[in-house]
Chain A
Amino acid sequence: GQNIDQPTEMTATEGAIVQINCTYQTSGFNGLFWYQQHAGEAPTFLSYNVLDGLEEKGRFSSFLSRSKGYSYLLLKELQMKDSASYLCAVMDSNYQLIWGAGTKLIIKP
C-alpha cells in the first residue's frame, strides 16, 4: 500500500530552527510537495521537489532523497506565525497526491 509518515506534533522556540521529516512508500513518484495549513484554514503550497537535493525559498528549505524515500522541511528563524500544520504529499504514478496526516508545529516564545 501507499504510505506517508510524518511526526504528529513538534514544539520549537521562536527564533530557532526546526526540521520536519517525511518518509514515503508510494506506487511511483512524480514529485513531493509541502503545504502549510493554519488551524481552520485551507492548505497553502510551500515547496515542490522532484530531483534529489535541497530547494531553498527564504526561511523555508525542502530536501529530497528519492533512493531513501525521505524528505524534510527546514524552517529557520521561527516566528509565532509559523505555528501551523505542515503537510507532506507525494504525487504517485497516476499523478494523484497521497497525503500524510500532517505535523502540528507549536512555536513557543
Chain B
Amino acid sequence: AQKITQTQPGMFVQEKEAVTLDCTYDTSDQSYGLFWYKQPSSGEMIFLIYQGSYDEQNATEGRYSLNFQKARKSANLVISASQLGDSAMYFCAMREGPYSGAGSYQLTFGKGTKLSVIP
C-alpha cells in the first residue's frame, strides 16, 4: 500500500483564488511528520511547510497552510491568493517516528500534483 497518496495529478486555479492540494497518508506510528515541497519547472525542491503528528494546531507559513485531519489521515495543503509563480509540482511527504527501524528517517513522497495558475 502506498504510504502517501496524492489523488490529483493536475489542477488549475485562477490567479488570486485559493486552492487545496490533497494528501492522505498511511502509517501505524503515533509519531510522524508531514512535509510539503514545491518543485518549479527549474527542478529544485523547495520546502514549504511541516506538520508534526502531535501538533495541536494546523501549520501555517505565509500563504501556505496545512489542513491536518489526523483521524482521517489527511494533510492537505492550502494555498491562498494564488500567484502565477505558484505554478509548479507539489509533493507531500512523510517521515515516520524514530523507532520505526533502520529506515525511520526516510522521507516517503507522494507522486505529486501539478498546479497551474491561470491569469
Query: Is chain B a partner of chain A in the same complex?
Result: no
Chain A positions within 8 Å of B, measured between CB atoms, are none
